Amino acid sequence: MLYNLGIAYGRLNRLVEAEEIYLKVLEARPDFIEAHNNLGEIYLRQNRLEEAEREFLKAIELHQEFALAYANLAEVYLRKNNLEQAEDIVEKVLAIDPAMTAAYNMKGNILRQAGRLEEAVEAYKKALEKNPRNEKALYNLGLVAADRNRLGEAREYFLRAIEADRRYAEAYAGLGLTYLREKNWDEAIKNFLQAKELGYRNPVLHVNLSYVFLAKKDWPAAEAEARLAIKEQPGLAVAYNNLGIALAQQNRLEEAREALSRTLELSPLERDAVLNLAAVEYSLGHDDRALELFLKALALNPQHPGNGSIYNNLAVIYYRRGQYEQSWEFCLKALQAGFRVDPDFVDELRKKIKK
């Protein structure tokens, strides 16, 4: 009875209650194989990978041929980016049960993460051959279409996944992503929040929401979502970058500086983060550090169409340092890039050059 209650809570995305029930089941019957697997799935849905791995391994220890637990364990290793180990386990699953749709889905996920999109599509379609209403295969095909920037096709797959399972939270998150890519901010928020309400816990969801709120200039909401992403995955560089932008827009520059510095610790070659930190240092009057960072941003992408603003800022910094020839050099580059440099600044710089 308790085991079935756990299943019901899981299907309702009431994950805390489902966990409590499965723990009670296992307290009464520590050798209940399916309960270990289902508890692992609850942990997996919350991105609690170590706990999920522990439960799947326990289920396999109790039953060496339990294919579903192997498939779920492959998902753990996939999320840990251990593709080779994940692929080995999937092949073991298919040897045990060649008709298992979850195994084909997992194989597709591994191939997708490895960038082998055509092979991934083939694996997902094999899952659909076994079950044409398999919501996970439909969702995964939507992700591949989104990877290829085929947003209409992606949206169709996500909607089919929702039709197959109205409470499939991941499909709403995918649907929100297509609207985000199209800059339809309100529809993106609606679907992301629906995914969250249905129990979807993934730091990427919070990152995507922070992007949308930044676009809508709702700085406190963007800050809150970025902090949630960091709480769930402390090493997520993009979340620190979004947090830094939101803090800077609220004029909390020292906090923004700290967040953006953390971004570069995690991802030193991320041009946008370099540029964002440079802008904060520039606003704080830390010209030496800002100069270093603006020059690094240029070096990372010398042909970027947005480099005009960097040239302008470098011209101002060199002017402040009294290095007028270098200031003039970057002023000309800014003008050549189509950036509108302050005419009064240009005139004043010309006078300094003539002197």
Give the pLDDT confidence of 152-191 residue by residue, as tens digits: 999 999 999 999 999 999 999 999 999 999 999 999 999 9
Please say if the pLDDT value at position 352 is more than 90.
no
Please say if the pLDDT value at position 355 is more than 80.
no
For residue 29, what are the CA distances in angstroms to 5, 51, 312, 350? 15, 19, 69, 84
Please say if the pLDDT value at position 120 is more than 90.
yes
Mean pLDDT across 251-256: 97
Neighbours of 75 (CB within 10 A): 24
Q: What does the block give as tokens for 7?
A: 């299943």
**What CA–CA distance (Å, rounded) separates 252 from 256?**
6
Mean pLDDT across 105-113: 90
Mean of the per-residue pLDDT values of the chain: 94
Mean pLDDT across 193-213: 93
Contacts of 326 (CB under 8 A, 6+ apart): 318
For residue 48, what are the CA distances in angstroms to 100, 169, 233? 25, 17, 10
> Per-domain residue ranges for the chain?
132-200
pLDDT of residue 210: 97
pTM for the whole structure:
0.76
Please say if the pLDDT value at position 338 is more than 90.
yes
**What CA–CA distance (Å, rounded) separates 139 from 156?**
10
Contacts 24+ apart (CB under 8 A), 290-298: 290/317, 291/317, 291/318, 297/271
pLDDT, tens digit, for every residue of 296-329? 999 999 999 999 999 999 999 999 999 999 999 9
Q: Which CATH class is domain 132-200?
A: mainly alpha
pLDDT, tens digit, for every residue of 134-152? 999 999 999 999 999 999 9
pLDDT of residue 244: 97
Q: Is the dihedral of CA 86, 89, 93, 99 positive or negative?
A: positive
Burial class (CB within 10 angstroms; exposed 0-12, middle 13-18, buried 19+) of 354:
exposed
Mean pLDDT across 104-110: 90
pLDDT of residue 37: 96
Is residue 339 within 8 A of residue 312, CB to CB? The reply is yes
Q: How far apart are the first and last CA of the chain?
A: 90
With vertex at residue 57, the alpha carbon angle to CA 55 and CA 63, rounded to the nearest 5 degrees, is 105
Q: Is 338 helix (H, G, I), strand (E, B) or coil?
A: coil
**What CA–CA distance (Å, rounded) separates 144 from 118?**
9
For residue 166, what are the CA distances in angstroms to 6, 42, 146, 153? 20, 19, 21, 19
pLDDT, tens digit, for every residue of 93-106? 888 988 888 889 98
Q: pLDDT exceeding 90 applies to what percent of the chain?
A: 82
